[in-house]
Amino acid sequence: MNAPSPNLLGSLLESAVSTRSSLLGRSVHALILRTHDTPLSSFLCNHLVNLYSKLDRINSAEILLSLTNPRTVVTWTSLISGCVHNRRFTSALLYFSNMRRECVLPNDFTFPCVFKASASLHMPFTGKQLHALALKGGNILDVFVGCSAFDMYSKTGLRVEARNMFDEMPHRNLATWNAYISNAVQDGRCLDAVSAFKRFLCVGGEPNAITFCVFLNACADMASLELGIQLHGFIVRSRYREDVSVSNGLIDFYGKCGDVVSSEMVFNRIGSGRRNVVSWCSMLAALVQNHEEERACMVFLKARKEVEPTDFMISSVLSACAELGGLELGRSVHALAVKACVEENIFVGSALVDMYGKCGSIENAEQVFKEMPERNLVTWNAMIGGYAHLGDVDMALTLFEEMTLGSFGIAPSYVTLVSVLSACSRAGAVERGLHIFESMRGRYGIKPGAEHYACIVDLLGRSGLVDRAYEFIKRMPILPTISVWGALLGSCKMHGKTELGKIAAEKLFQLDPDDSGNHVVFSNMLASAGRWEEATIVRKEMRDIGIKKNVGYSWVAVKNRVHVFQAKNSSHEKNSEIQAMLAKLREEMTKAGYVPDTKLSLFDLEEEEKASELWYHSEKIALAFGLIALPHGVPIRITKNLRICGDCHNAIKFISKIVGRDIIVRDNNRFHHFKDGWCSCKDYWCLFRVFIW
């Protein structure tokens, strides 16, 4: 048998590397041992070291290295490059050190590898030593070595050294400019990135797909729609108009700038034959970011026909389900995640916890949380937020302590403390909430923000300490926001503090004059105090300046169809059955001791008319339909776009006991889980925004 030529064997080994075929590589290795005398030539040894290191078989590569004689810079670089390729950065630097001990000088291929290793390990001191070595050997003048050194300085946060490196480079290629622009964007210096892009064009540079995508990221981070549109025009005139990666970048850019129409235009122009999984993920993310959750779910269903779902795609659609309160669809997506073997992915797991928590299924959220192999801060925040939505302050604080003080030792974030303070507010835990707020800066190093202050105002106000809440606002070191004054107004409404409520309302009218909710809260507060003339004036002012109040809706999902109800609406196909159910419930509730709270009907009507008004609120109609359409034993889940009415809250407690059903109501503020005449909120809630039916 004639021995195959070294060149042919080298080509076969390179093919094994490119296809990541360990079987082919080992077969060629066996053929080499059979047909070639030992010791093997340096040429074949170098190829074999490269094969095993790139396939992450470092032990085999090391053995071959020890058998190679002489060991050249090519041999060592093959091993170092393979380590970097497989993210074994520490090993790469150790092998580089061993190479230097053998007095082997690194070349222009070695330096980029070790610069990347030191950058990935965030070791600027080592990077500086490598820079000195490259400078001493004259390698730093090579454009690739210089670009790698610049990238290392950028990624390790040494901005001055990075800028000096860039300015001193005698030659800059496209990769160098891309690295400069990319690192500027990652470092939050978007204007610097834009300036560099312009300079690149001025020196005759021709951008590629990477340049365009990085520049679009800069535009998105600055929310500069106009600048991104100009770049889009430049792309249309260039040969990259049909490039899928650039189109994906445009979809992402327009989505982050709030222009979903343009995102869809670019997405549709790609065409079904060229769209890849990134295209679908970008379009899905754009819709979710712009609160187009229903359309996001539709896009996900279409994507499944073309691509396999990824972890990012599944976590995005789960976020849409969370905002919609779409528990059934969320469960279907959970099943897909299991089928695609991505349910243990930390991002998917966190999205599942968030979805179940926001859909009121806290048991499922807990199960997913406990089964996750690893958790990050987002996971903990999602679980704490789930308890906060239900007003379960004990569980929220227990989990918070487990996260911060237990074996996990995770430092809370700004968002974590918003959730914890919100839980305290919803449960009336005044002392615990104030203690956490006062220890934020000293214990956790977090400066209180507007959301934290709003939580404390809400906490004090809900507890009846309205005057104290106002004093707290006056002492705030930052200007009170809409949420702060809104919390005070809601508290004044609940506790009848009309004069203080006037102050809060006037501040809200200045900050957000077009919000109908603030006007209606104020009007209702005056009406509940019997000051009908003043309430009428507020309503008239709303009409005069063209402010329309929000319409209240409640909806129930039955067999993949959403049934929407509005107060007094009789257009539903089963209206006669709904009315019969309402009459039956009213009769049974009256026998059980239910008395309509006519104070909550804020119209100047007779008592009997007020009671009638209360009975036809949208949540009661939705509940009556749920009792008709859903079989016994199945929880009835109602979603409302506004705050649940106080009388409805009381009525549903009665109904849950009479019919023996679990009833979960998600309003625009929290969940209420009714069972056996009790609510999960323990009746600790207030008319925070308004009843608008």
3-class DSSP assignment, residue 632: coil
The answer to whether the Cα torsion of 610, 542, 640, 630 is positive or negative is positive
Structure-block tokens of residue 333: 């997506």
Interatomic CA distance for residues 391 and 671, integer angstroms = 8
- Specify the pLDDT at position 670: 74
> Any long-range contacts for 39-42 (C-beta under 8 Å, 24+ apart)?
39/67, 39/68, 39/69, 40/67, 40/68, 41/6, 42/68, 42/70, 42/72, 42/74, 42/75
Please name the amino acid found at residue 274: R
DSSP class of 634: S
How many whole angstroms separate alpha carbon 641 and alpha carbon 280?
29
Give the pLDDT score at 688.
39
* Spatial distance between the Cα atoms of 478 and 348, rounded to a whole number of angstroms: 37
H or E element in which residue 353 lies: helix 346-358
- Return the number of other C-beta atoms located less than 10 Å from residue 376's C-beta: 13
Token pair 């026998």 is found at 591
Alpha-carbon gap, residue 342 to 314, rounded angstroms: 9
Exposed (0-12), middle (13-18) or buried (19+): which is 693, by Cβ within 10 Å?
Answer: buried
pLDDT < 50 regions, the chain: 600, 602-611, 686-693
What is the C-alpha separation between 471 and 483, in angstroms, rounded? Answer: 16
pTM of the model: 0.76
Q: What is the pLDDT of residue 693?
A: 28
Which alpha helices (DSSP H) does 36-142 contain, by range?
42-54, 58-67, 73-85, 89-101, 110-120, 124-137
- Give me the domains of the chain, ranges plus CATH numbers: 404-513 (1.25.40.10), 556-679 (no CATH)
Q: Give how far Cα 328 sits from Cα of 321, 324, 331, 333, 358, Å.
A: 9, 11, 5, 9, 13
* Runs of H (alpha helix) within 445-497: 450-462, 466-474, 482-495
- Give the long-range contacts of residues 625-630, CB within 8 A, separation 24 or more: 625/556, 625/563, 625/565, 625/572, 625/574, 625/578, 625/581, 626/556, 626/558, 626/663, 627/581, 627/585, 627/659, 627/661, 628/574, 628/577, 628/578, 628/581, 629/556, 629/558, 629/563, 629/574, 630/558
569 contact partners, CB below 8 Å, separation of at least 6: 618, 621
Is-contact 25 52, C-beta < 8 A?
A: yes
Residue 246's φ and ψ, nearest 5 degrees, are -70, -40
pLDDT per residue as tens digits for the range 163-206: 888 888 888 889 889 988 998 898 888 999 999 999 999 988 89
Average pLDDT, the chain: 86
